[in-house]
Amino acid sequence: MMKRREFVTRSVGVGLLGAVAPMFGGLDTLASQPAVQGNYDLAAVRGGTPPQMFDKAMEAIGGMGRFVKQGQRVLIKPNIGWDTPPERAANTNPDLVGRMVKAAFEAGAADVFVFDHTCDQWDRAYRNSGIEAAVRQNGGTIVPGNNERNYREVSIPGAKILKTTKVHEMVLNTDVFINVPVLKHHGSTTVTLAIKNLMGCVWDRRFYHGNDLSQCIADFLAFKKPDLNVIDGYRMMTRNGPRGVSVADVVDLGALVAGTDIVAVDSAATLMFGSQPNEIGHIRIAEEMGFGTTNLEQLSINRIRI
């Protein structure tokens, strides 16, 4: 098992409040550990391209066939919020999204859809992020998230503040929900990862910002938790998030984390950013509400060096 302290054993400064780009317990000096299929709760991969790291992570946690069955409709939810190129790391890496679309089809998916409720103009964000082309090249379907008519009102029993919200119909009408955020800084929440990425599923994000942002982010999990969470840490925005200003805000981290426990996945990635999970309001609240654990010591984690 990997202990929490093993995530942060050596670091180099990257300029945001002392944020760090840590090693996975000395992975740079370790040989790859075997990714025994299905034996791990979480996979932390370092050193390859986004598709290579994804393939290794999936092998470790059971393969895409664990999540996608023959004939199912799959929704992949990246961060496509911003009209910026991939090297700015404001959006999920397009090569990773393309590989995930292909992997879903390889596992037997009948349809694979990709969408986000963008912050910048949706068609420019889809195009200039590189994600639209990557999805189409791998046979997936790009779905706009910019029209309120495609959102449906839902109630959220158990939520403390976000009692109702309008959710995109693709979240309601697909069989498998895969969440693939990018690891980056956020001015309001310090980091934005898997839990916060789900804000891109709802129509009225202004409600979140006006009514206890952290609680609303956690509340959404009472309605829907993804079947799989994959965090893109290939490039990491260290400051000026969530949009960033230039490539000067970005470091090449070369990392990926994957697992089913959304709180644990966010906790591991938060440590990679150089913060503690209990310092991040929505992660702390999500654990308190029973949606997952920040205690990485109770999980089996495979660290893989490519």
Peptide bond preceding 242: is omega within 30 degrees of 0, i.e. cis? yes
| pLDDT for position 38 | 65
In DSSP terms, which residues pair with 255 in a beta bridge?
A: 46, 233
User: HEC states along 241-293?
Assistant: CCCCCCHHHEECCCEEEEECCHHHHHHHHHHHHCCCHHHCHHHHHHHHCCCCC
Cα–Cα distance measured from residue 10 to residue 7, given in angstroms and rounded to the nearest whole number? 9
Assigned token pair, 82: 């911003």
Q: Are strands 228-237 and 301-305 parallel, antiparallel or unpaired?
A: unpaired
| pLDDT for position 37 | 58
Three-state SS at 232: strand
Mean per-residue pLDDT pooled into runs of 10, the chain (306 residues): 44 31 37 57 97 98 97 98 97 98 98 97 98 98 97 97 98 98 94 97 96 97 98 96 93 97 98 94 98 96 94
**Helix, strand, coil share of the chain (percent; to 5):** 35, 20, 40
For residue 76, the surrounding DSSP H or E stretch is strand 73-78
DSSP label of 155? E
Cα–Cα distance measured from residue 174 to residue 169, given in angstroms and rounded to the nearest whole number? 9
Cα–Cα distance measured from residue 158 to residue 87, given in angstroms and rounded to the nearest whole number? 40
- Domain coordinates in residue numbering, the chain: 4-305
Q: Are strands 255-259 and 42-46 parallel, antiparallel or unpaired?
A: antiparallel
Cα–Cα distance measured from residue 46 to residue 49, given in angstroms and rounded to the nearest whole number? 9
| pLDDT for position 39 | 77
Cα–Cα distance measured from residue 299 to residue 295, given in angstroms and rounded to the nearest whole number? 8
CB 232, CB 153: distance < 8 Å: no
Assigned token pair, 106: 């390889």
Q: Which fold has domain 4-305?
A: Rossmann fold (3.40.50)
